């Protein structure tokens, strides 16, 4: 298992800028809770699944199952 940043630099830059503006909360979410603090609870749960491969909600991170 490997977790990496999205290979699209424009997306990474946009999300990182959004994280700065929100104080580290997912810029794709309206609510600001512990569950939406980057790396969000949703993605942490997804990466526990050995069969999951894909992006987090905001597409900043990618989990490769290989």
Domain boundaries, the chain: 2-64
Residue 65's pLDDT band (cuts 50, 70, 90): confident
How far does Cα 7 stand from its chain's mean position? 13
Continuous H helices in 5-59: 9-22, 41-48
5, 14 in Cβ contact below 8 A? no
What's the confidence (pLDDT) of residue 66? 66
Whole-structure pTM value: 0.88
Average pLDDT estimate for 53-65: 94
Q: Render pLDDT for 21-50 as a digit per residue (tens, 0 to 9).
A: 999 999 999 999 999 999 999 999 999 999
20, 6 in Cβ contact below 8 A? no
Residue pointed to by tokens 């990182």 = 16
What's the confidence (pLDDT) of residue 52? 94
């Amino acid at each position: 298992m490997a977790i990496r940043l999205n290979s699209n630099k424009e997306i990474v830059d946009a999300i990182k800028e959004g994280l700065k503006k929100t104080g580290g909360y997912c810029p794709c979410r309206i609510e600001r809770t512990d569950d939406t603090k980057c790396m969000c609870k949703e993605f942490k749960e997804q990466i526990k699944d050995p069969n999951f491969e894909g992006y987090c909600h905001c597409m900043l991170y990618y989990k490769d199952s290989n």
